[in-house]
Structure 1
Amino acid sequence: MNYTLHQLEVFYKVSEKQSITKASEELHLTQPAVSIQLKNFQEQFPIALTEVVGRKLYITDFGREIAEVAERILNEAEAINFKMRSYGGALTGRLKISVVSTGKYVMPYFLSGFMHTHTEVDLLMDVTNKLQVVESLEKNEVDFALVSVLPNHLKLNNVALMPNILHMVANPKYYEKIRLSKKTGVGDTPLIFREFGSATRGAMEGYLKEREIILGKKIELTSNEAVKQAVLAGLGCSVMPLIGIKNGLQSGKLKIFPMKKLPIITTWNLVWLQKKKLSPVATAFLEYIENEKNQIINADFKWLEAYGNN
């Protein structure tokens, strides 16, 4: 056999995603390049690693076993690289963070200074919804997670970073006022929701339940950015975190509509499992956060104060 680390990486990613298209996106390669590497890797085995049923790719039992070995080999190879670099005296290793989707407007600011200081550290930040973030914590796949609602069933340590403020917003070009009532009817304002599993959706549903509001027209979208664009386009209104709509508010294309029981204020928390043995990189990052978080908030998030109590 004469397979390469690159072929192992390609096959492992294909097995993880069960898709050549998704694997190519993750690896920043073209689909033909991934297909060629997968074919070359397969030719070294007498048993099929993958199979296609209909138009869907599946990993065979043998392929899953090879993928597990490939993951171990790739991790060991990565460890060798980190050890080599650490002999130069630099902090080396990988920092893995899972972030709820709205957190993408927050976490980069708390990472930037650390990554500029420690140039030998690799960063893997997965941006997804709350359910998947919690799952990554449960499986011990990440060092830290950024959430605005703490999961009750996990034993976690946490560092509170900053407030997460949610207001009812709409495009004033389309809405002079927002009508929400305990009974539906013509003229009720359409509400735009995030997908199931989103913490923002949970906050919005909790608000409606508390006020005993019965929904009229409802729109559901699968990302915070999609919700923002829909609100900008006048499709409806939504309870949204201010952190993601700064430009819309400052340009006047979005407006906060004062409503009873709003704003909803939660807290962005950096969390990790209590049983987690933090790596030197994770420990250094935690120290950085505890020392620098106030300066970061004052430098990058002071603008929130202008909208916090509208």
Structure 2
Amino acid sequence: MNYTLNQLRVFAKVVENESVTKASEVLHMTQPAVSIQLKKFQDQFEIPLTEIIGKRLYVTEFGRTIAEIAKNILSESEALQYKTKEFKGLLTGTLRIASASTGKYVMPYFLSAFSTSNPNVNLILDVSNKEHVVQGLKNNEIDFALVSVLPTDVEVHEELLVENKLFLISSREKIDSSKPLIFREKGSATRMAMDTYYGEKSRQKSIELTSNEAVKQAVISGLGYSILPLIGIKNELSNGELHIIPTKGLPVTTQWRLIWLKQKKLSPVSEAYLDFLRNHKDEIIREKFDWYDTYEHV
């Protein structure tokens, strides 16, 4: 048997995505290149790893077993890359974090100094909606997740960071009731907050968009109004493009928190990052998020 690490990597991604097309996108390879590597890997086994039924790719039971072994080999291979530096006393490895979309305004501030102090640590930060972030955590694809609402169907540890305040936002100082209410897509924490706030009230006209950035731009344009996290609209409030509308029951306040699986064995890099976070988070909050207080009693 003469497989390559690249073949293992390709096969693992094909299995993970159950699609050559999606695997090629993730790997930044062409579909033919992925198919060639998949065939070369398959040629080394007498038992099928995958099968095509109709136009859909299915992974066989044997294929899933081989995929697990492939992931372990890739993990060990990654560890080998860092051993020389470890013997020199340098912290090395990869820190994988997934963040709910609005967390992109939060997480970088809690990573910057750690990354600067540990130049041999690779950082992967994936930004998506809450539903996808939590799924990545459940699948043990990441070390930590940044969320504003705790998942209820998985046991996690947490480290609290900063508050997440959501206000009613408009491009004018008063709400134009003829304009529609703009929602995030289902599965996002902002959408959950809006659904909780508005309950079953009738919404004759509404718009649904797939990111807070898209919602923000729609509100700025005068398309409608929405409830948005304060953390993502600092500049727009300062230059007058957006206005907070004082409203009974608002802001909705949650808490940004870093979470990880209770049963997960943390890597040395993950342990080091947690130590850094616990020692420096108060200082980071004072330096980077003191402007929050300006809008405490809007």
Instruction: State the TM-score bracket (shorter-chain normalisation).
Output: 0.7 to 0.9
**From 166, 175, 178, the counterpart of 1:177:** 175
Equivalents in 2 of 1:68, 1:144: separation in Å? Answer: 21
Kindly indicate whether the alpha-carbon contact (under 8 Å) linking 2:175 and 2:225 is maintained by their aligned counterparts in 1.
Answer: no
Equivalents in 1 of 2:240, 2:109: separation in Å? Answer: 25
TM-score by length of 1: 0.84
Q: Which moved more, 1:242-251 or 1:130-139?
A: 130-139
2:72 maps to 72
| Alpha-carbon offset, residue 265 of structure 1 | 1.8
Equivalents in 2 of 1:251, 1:224: separation in Å? Answer: 19
User: 1:208 aligned to 2:177?
Assistant: no
- The one-letter amino acid of 1:9's match is R
Query: How many residue pairs get matched?
Result: 298
Equivalents in 2 of 1:195, 1:59: separation in Å? Answer: 31
* 1:90-124 C-alpha deviation (Å, 9 max, x unpaired): 11222232322211221111111111111222223
User: 1:158 aligned to 2:158?
Assistant: yes
TM-score by length of 2: 0.87
Structure 1 residues not aligned, in runs of 5+: 180-186
Q: Which moved more, 1:82-91 or 1:225-234?
A: 225-234
| Alpha-carbon offset, residue 253 of structure 1 | 2.6
Q: 1:249 to 1:118 in 2, by over 3 A?
A: same
1:290 maps to 278
Equivalents in 2 of 1:221, 1:95: separation in Å? Answer: 31
| Alpha-carbon offset, residue 75 of structure 1 | 1.3
| Alpha-carbon offset, residue 193 of structure 1 | 1.6
| Alpha-carbon offset, residue 274 of structure 1 | 4.1
1:19 maps to 19
Q: Which moved more, 1:74-83 or 1:223-232?
A: 223-232
| Alpha-carbon offset, residue 17 of structure 1 | 1.3
2:124 maps to 124
User: 1:256 aligned to 2:254?
Assistant: no
What SS is found at the alignment partner of 1:267?
strand
Equivalents in 2 of 1:190, 1:8: separation in Å? Answer: 50
Q: 1:231 to 1:43 in 2, by over 3 A?
A: farther
User: 1:60 aligned to 2:60?
Assistant: yes
Kindly indicate whether the alpha-carbon contact (under 8 Å) linking 1:165 and 1:308 is maintained by their aligned counterparts in 2.
Answer: no
- The one-letter amino acid of 1:261's match is G
2:185 maps to 195
Q: 1:256 to 1:90 in 2, by over 3 A?
A: same
- The one-letter amino acid of 2:159's match is V
- The one-letter amino acid of 1:10's match is V
CA-atom RMSD, angstroms?
Answer: 2.5
Q: 1:238 to 1:79 in 2, by over 3 A?
A: same
User: 1:148 aligned to 2:148?
Assistant: yes
Equivalents in 2 of 1:260, 1:297: separation in Å? Answer: 28
| Alpha-carbon offset, residue 229 of structure 1 | 3.1
Equivalents in 2 of 1:37, 1:233: separation in Å? Answer: 48
| Alpha-carbon offset, residue 134 of structure 1 | 3.3
* 1:14-33 C-alpha deviation (Å, 9 max, x unpaired): 21112333323322334443
Equivalents in 1 of 2:277, 2:88: separation in Å? Answer: 25
| Alpha-carbon offset, residue 241 of structure 1 | 0.5
2:229 maps to 241
Identity of aligned residues (%): 55
Equivalents in 1 of 2:137, 2:12: separation in Å? Answer: 22
1:184 maps to none
* 1:280-301 C-alpha deviation (Å, 9 max, x unpaired): 2122111111222123223333
Equivalents in 1 of 2:57, 2:212: separation in Å? Answer: 30
Equivalents in 2 of 1:108, 1:158: separation in Å? Answer: 18
Q: 1:293 to 1:10 in 2, by over 3 A?
A: same
What SS is found at the alignment partner of 2:2?
coil
Equivalents in 1 of 2:47, 2:262: separation in Å? Answer: 43
What SS is found at the alignment partner of 1:125?
strand
1:183 maps to none
Q: Which moved more, 1:46-55 or 1:235-244?
A: 46-55
Q: 1:308 to 1:54 in 2, by over 3 A?
A: farther
User: 1:40 aligned to 2:40?
Assistant: yes
Aligned pairs for 1:103-122 within 5 A: 103-122=103-122
* 1:37-85 C-alpha deviation (Å, 9 max, x unpaired): 2333334344443344444333333332322221121112122223333
2:29 maps to 29
What SS is found at the alignment partner of 1:236?
coil
